[in-house]
Chain A
Amino acid sequence: MRGIRPFTATALILGLLFLYLPILWVVLLSFNESRLLTRFEGFSLRWYQALFSDPALLAALGRSLLIALAAGVIAVIIGTLAATALARFPRFRGRALLAFLSSAPLVLPEVMLGFGALILFVSLERLIGWPAGRGMMTIILAHTLLAAAYVTVIVQSRLAGRERVLEEAAMDLGADPLRAYLLVTLPSIAPALIAGFLIAFTLSLDDLVIASFTAGPGATTLPMAIYSKLKLGLSPEINALATLLVLTAALAVSIAAWSLARRR
């Protein structure tokens, strides 16, 4: 009924400029011919070339991708189970606890999650000898904590919004609840699982704080590598790296959003 009014248009344009300009600035400078970080002096891909000939960075990238992949997969399994329990079973012992614990990591400061996970791993190692030392394994577990919380929210809202007609029809036709869930419900919430995985992947790929606490000496991830480079000063290579990270994350999340928005 209403068109776009001047107030609406101004607020939108200013707000979106504020949100996007800083990111675009980094992207623009990553293609800068000059080493200067203040002016654009011509297009070049030299910083990307420099990036791909840095073996330490490439190793960190490989490690980060592997961690994100593993954390994403485990988070989808744990998060989907949690979401199913919360959405499908209105009352059982521990339901309130599960609801609280699975949403706490969404807002708890990351330093707390990272420090807590580290203390747990150190204590477990003393007590039962596992995990022996810290490395990719411990980062994956700690990232799974954060990522599974996001997967739970996404899958739960998808499950809550679904009608159970098909599931019930399957059971009327003789399928037991488990089969009905696996064969009917799960395929129908597949977009939420894909979205959950991509978001979990993105979170893990980008995390500096939790990884720093739970990484062993050899397990430098990409954000940890970026952070230690940043501490030495800005450089055009970091802009190129930042651009790649932003593009990967934006791509993953756009696919996630598209997957959720399709046939709601």
Chain B
Amino acid sequence: MPFSSPTEPRTRAALAVAGLPLAFFAAMLLLPLCLIGAISLAESDPALSPPFRPWWSGDGGIGLKSYALVLEEGIYARAWLDSLRIAATSASLAVLLGYPLALAIARAPEKLRLPLLALAVLPFWTSFLVRVYAWIGLLRHDGPINALLLALGLSEQPLPLLYGEFAIHLGIVYSYLPFAILPLAANLMALDSRLLDAAADLGARPMSAFLRVTLPLSAPGIAAAFLLVFVPALGEFVIPDLLGGPDNLMLGRLLWNEFFQARDWPLAAAITLMLLAMVVLPLLFLSRLLGRLAPGGRG
């Protein structure tokens, strides 16, 4: 067993293999983090290029002005709360919608399970931009959904479905639904069906067996599904930009606007760090959950 004892040459071999990826990931993730931290404390100056005063070379002051702005200024504070709220509701909706689908996949005949799971996840891999864009056409004033509502007599006139929070929620749920289905299905497929048989033998009806056996045991899957939608949704740009109205600013869109339109890099940097602070805890929790859900882990 040459791989079993970690000796000196093994460590060197490990670093030879890990060196390049470690350097690459650290350079692309940790270095920017430090730079963003430094820039977030700088003064913005649109006349310069890049548009801020580098305090580390003695130019301009250093301060928490950008952070204060994000926390105190009305539109930023609202973007902040709106992001949290919209990400949380959409993630909950994605779990609610994904759960029956994941359960159906887990309870399908064994030969069909993986093909069905692949079918449910495939849309995630077709163009993200196109899938968001599709809803612009569908939700339009004169689009097929409004036409259907009118034809069924459910509405007297076309509803303003597009460019608002309804469309943003729908866009997030639709785009990230496969993210919710995957951990749920993995969790539910790993559940021992003998537990359900036992519950049935003891006289439990299917509904009560579901509520008292399946649902509690799938809690880790539910939590992972929620977080896998919640975290990327918090910083989502494309969905609020294409489906939301002009005042539906979420943090990702705010960062984009500060960077591309206002050219306020220190403010964009402060937003990035605050976004990071919001996702770090969920991320750590998520990696523990996924470790438990992974094949071979305890699920």
A contact residues vs B (CB 8 Å cutoff): 2-5, 7-9, 11-12, 15-16, 18-20, 22-23, 25-26, 29, 37-38, 77-79, 81-82, 84-85, 88-95, 97-98, 100-105, 107-112, 115-117, 119-120, 122-123, 141-142, 144-145, 148, 152, 160, 164, 168, 171, 177, 199, 202, 206, 208-209, 212-213, 223, 226-227, 230, 234, 238-239, 242, 245-246, 249-250, 252-254, 257, 261
Instruction: Answer whether A91 and B6 are a contact pair too, CB < 8 Å, given A112-B272, A213-B259.
Output: yes
| Complex contact B129–A226 (CB within 8 A) | yes
Cβ of B231 and Cβ of A107 under 8 Å apart? Answer: yes
Report which of A8, A11, A117, A164 forms a contact with B32, defined as CB distance below 8 A: A117
Q: Given that A4-B109, A242-B127 are known contacts, is A109 also in contact with B122, CB under 8 Å in the complex?
A: no
Residues of B within 8 A of A112 (CB): 235, 255, 272, 275-276
Q: A110 and B275: CB pair below 8 A?
A: no
Selected from B104, B109, B137, B232, the residue in CB contact (under 8 A) with A15 is B104
Contact between chains at A81 and B18 (CB < 8 Å) = yes
Closest 10 CB pairs of A and B: A109-B235, A116-B32, A82-B21, A85-B18, A92-B14, A15-B101, A89-B14, A101-B25, A11-B104, A22-B134
A11 and B101 form a contact (CB under 8 A) = yes
Known: A29-B137, A38-B143, A246-B130. A109 touches B269 (CB 8 A): no
Question: Contacts A109-B236, A261-B114; is A23 near B272 (CB within 8 Å)?
Answer: no
How far is the CB of B122 from the nearest CB of chain A, in Å? 6
Contact A12 B105 (CB under 8 A): yes
Question: CA–CA, A107 to B224, complex, Å?
Answer: 12
Q: How far is the CB of A34 from chain B (nearest CB, A)?
A: 13
Q: Is residue B36 contacting chain A, with contact meaning CB distance below 8 A?
A: yes
B41 within 8 A of A: no
Chain B residues with Cβ below 8 Å from A257 are: 118, 122
**Is the pair A242, B130 in contact by a Cβ cutoff of 8 Å?**
yes
Please state if A78 and B129 are interface contacts (CB–CB under 8 Å). Answer: no
Assess whether A116 is in contact with B36, with CB atoms less than 8 Å apart: yes
A38 CA / B145 CA spacing, docked (Å): 10
A227 contacts which chain B residues (CB < 8 A)?
A: 129
A238 to B130, CA, bound (A): 9
* A/B interface sample: 24 pairs, CB < 8 A: A11-B103, A11-B104, A12-B104, A15-B104, A22-B131, A23-B126, A23-B131, A26-B137, A81-B20, A85-B14, A92-B11, A101-B29, A102-B25, A105-B29, A107-B283, A109-B232, A110-B232, A209-B238, A230-B136, A230-B242, A234-B137, A250-B125, A253-B122, A254-B122
